[in-house]
Homo-oligomer: A and B are copies of this chain.
Amino acid sequence: MNQAVSHAAPHAEPTAVAHDIPDTPADLNQAVLIALDWGTSSLRAYAFDAQGRALAVRSLPWGIMKLPRAAAEGGFDAAFEAACGDWLDARPTLPLIACGMVGSAQGWVEAPYIDTPADANRLASSLAEVRTQRGPVLRIVPGVLERGTLPNVMRGEETQILGAMLEAGPGAQDAAPRKTLVGLPGSHAKWAIVEGRSIERFHTFMTGEAFAALRDHTILGRTMRTPDVPDTEAFLRGVSVARGAWDAGLLATIFSTRALGLTGQLDAAQQPDYLSGLLIGHEIAGLEKLLEREGATWASQPVLLIGDAKLVERYRLVLAHFGCTHARTVQNATERGLWQIASQAGLVAQA
């Protein structure tokens, strides 16, 4: 789920792991679950205690497209062993769960999409299974598909979204079914409408990858220079232009990056952040239209954000520009989601 994030400078880093969690559990006897967040470009392994707290987390560069050796030559098993083989040597019967692209058609085993609406119960009852070389079965969380004229898929984000709903605290848990908007900025930003604890609908905005393609492979990049520090003023200028573009859309505004440069109104070092602001601004303007269809307004709409801290901060700026000042940033969404689904599947005793 953690695809390369590529919005403007400086490049965002993957979500940081809290520094106080070791990469090997102090006491493996406390572990009750091993959970893997296994995406395209990275692999992260957690050992959880009976309260769902991470005893250890280990990060490896072995996403499914970057395995230590070819998949046909045991690449998945090799990465898996590096991630948690020593933990399993000590505790061979620990249950195993994974989410992310490891369950895609290019993954270890395909975990077919389940249709929306999707909650932890439905995900937990649709886990795929793959037998590891050492014996134990690894269960893999399926992705989610929303059918329709404009179909959408997610894989990995469903786990984060459900985890975020828990992490958001008792209020979010206790409330009667109520719409929450959960945003996951990134290469393919996801925005999900969650009712109660169920993912009802979602949208994919290809903002990050479109930004990279426009910057690196169109005329817009030719006059750009990456600034030493992000230029927030230029970024917000882009947001403002996108918001004020009379719904003419992205294709009508991005050339202004060049036109403002040609006319001496935007320095080379301002252009990357300006373009980033334009794109994220168009994303949030489009999201506003989708909210209107839901009968919601920013004021009435709880908003949670998950992801890289710097990128989330950029999104908070844009949301505030659109009148949404109450977006909450959620930490540890993946861990919470993996734990919740494992609990629901009976892999660990429910708290």
Contacts and interface: CB of A to CB of B under 8 A. Distances in A.
A77 B218 CA distance: 29
A253 interface: yes
A149 B265 CA distance: 10
Contact of A241 (B149, B204, B246, B293): B149
A43 to B, nearest CB: 20
A230 B51 CA distance: 58
Contact of A248 (B214, B254, B289): B289
A320 interface: no
A233 interface: no
B204 A259 contact: yes
A104 to B, nearest CB: 9
Contact of A153 (B213, B246, B248, B259): B259
Given A213-B217, A216-B217, A247-B247, A290 B259 contact: no
A291 B251 CA distance: 16
A207 interface: yes
Nearest to A211: B251
A74 interface: no
Interface residues of A, number: 52
A176 interface: no
A209 interface: yes
A147 B256 CA distance: 11
Contact of A259 (B151, B253, B265): B151
A246 B149 CA distance: 12
B219 A287 contact: no
Given A248-B290, A249-B249, A290-B248, A206 B254 contact: yes
A204 B286 contact: no
A248 B286 contact: yes
A250 B206 CA distance: 9
B205 A251 contact: yes
Given A213-B213, A217-B213, A286 B188 contact: no
B289 A247 contact: yes
Q: Is the interface of A mostly helix, strand, loop or mixed?
A: helix
A140 B214 CA distance: 31
A287 B245 CA distance: 11
Given A214-B210, A214-B213, A263-B145, A286 B251 contact: yes
A241 to B, nearest CB: 6
A255 B217 contact: no
A247 B286 CA distance: 6
A157 to B, nearest CB: 13
Given A153-B262, A203-B248, A210 B293 contact: no
A260 B262 CA distance: 40
Interface string A323-346: 000000000000000000000000
Contact of A253 (B150, B260, B293): B150
A203 B246 CA distance: 12
Listed from nearest, the 4 A-B pairs whose CB atoms lie closest are: A249-B286, A248-B286, A204-B255, A213-B213
